[in-house]
Amino acid sequence: MSPSFGFGMFIVVDQALFIIEVLPDRAAAGRDLGLSQLGTNLGQTIAPIVAGVVVAISAGAYGPVWIAATVLVLISAVAIIPIKRVR
């Protein structure tokens, strides 16, 4: 068994347990966990497409991908500011 397999098993359970702790409504836990995973999976699906477009626009240079990633991380950081606290 490879270390990455063990880490993969750990991270899935860890994220689920963490997300369950911060859910606003326990009755809608399934829906909220599904939305959380949708957000994760959409990001992992769209990121390579965006990176490919950025590389194509920049004539094959990969440096602009880091700039685009930095901008997206900053937008994400601003988006979580309204979150006040965990129960």
Q: How far apart are CA 85 and CA 20, in angstroms?
A: 14
**Model confidence over 29-59: pLDDT tens digits?**
788 888 878 887 888 899 899 999 999 999 9
Q: What was the pLDDT predicted at 57?
A: 94
Alpha-carbon distance 66 to 37, whole Å? 24
- Maximum separation of any 2 CA atoms in the chain, in Å: 50
Q: Rounded to two decimals, what is the model's pTM?
A: 0.61
Whole-number pLDDT of residue 86: 58
